[in-house]
Amino acid sequence: MSTMQQTEESIRTRRVTPQVGWGLLGGGAFFFVGGSMHPGEDPPGLSVKEHLHLLFQDPAWYPSHALLLVGMVLIAASLVALVRGGALASVPRAQRVGGIAAVAAVLGALDMLLHLVVASEASSIAAGEGTPLTDLHVVAETLTLPAFAFSIAALGVIGASTRTIGNRLTAALAVVGGVTYGLAGATFLFTDSLNFLFPGGGVIGLWAVATGIGLLLRSRATNLAAPAT
């Protein structure tokens, strides 16, 4: 690596506070564990509300989504801090995609809060009564989940190719997790044929963990090199 490249990378790294790295690491861990605890019952042929009613009755619903919510909040806060801190500003396309991912993550965190509390309408679904929270949730999730997932995939690829954030490994995790999670979320209202892809969202958690570790290591290396420079 040339001296100029080292200098540019050092500037980018200095703009990334350790809190961003730790936020992505912790958020990814919560997101992955919460996703792995998600109720998995998915018999074929059910309507959307019948499917949700079955999930709402699972005792794992609340702990799973509480962890997912914490993970989403940490990831969203970290992406916002990453963009606002200017770590991606030297590459305009990375800055744009990072901004989109940050906004999508914030909206995703709000939807995850709704996702957590919507199970309170389980009895209303069973009784055939009105379910305003559930109705709002399924529409919001169909919009916010793909936006978050696909923007993470794009950020992973562009970040790695421009050396602003991540590497080839994290890019692969972002693509696998983002595409599978995004496709499942985008089609949930219309078909259950891609519901089996939902667990792919856990790979986004692994992306966040790996990316956070990478940022922390880069920051540490830059700090160690700073006195010599």
CA distances from 217 to 14, 29, 83, 168 (A): 12, 18, 19, 16
Number of domains in the chain: 1
pLDDT digits over 33-84, tens only?
999 999 876 677 778 888 888 899 999 999 999 999 999 999 999 999 999 9
Q: Is 42 helix (H, G, I), strand (E, B) or coil?
A: coil
Phi, psi (deg, nearest 5) at residue 34: -60, -40
Tokens representing residue 152 in the block:
């993470």
**From the CB of residue 45, how many other CB atoms can be counted at a distance below 10 Å?**
7
Tokens representing residue 214 in the block:
């990478």
pLDDT digits over 97-129, tens only?
999 999 999 999 999 999 999 999 999 998 889
Tell me how far apart the alpha carbons of residues 52 and 39 are, in angstroms, rounded to a whole number. 10
Q: Are 144 and 107 in contact (CB under 8 A)?
A: yes
Q: Which domain holds residue 93?
A: 3-228
Longest CA span, the chain: 71
Please give the pLDDT value at position 15: 62
Q: Give pTM, 2 decimals.
A: 0.89
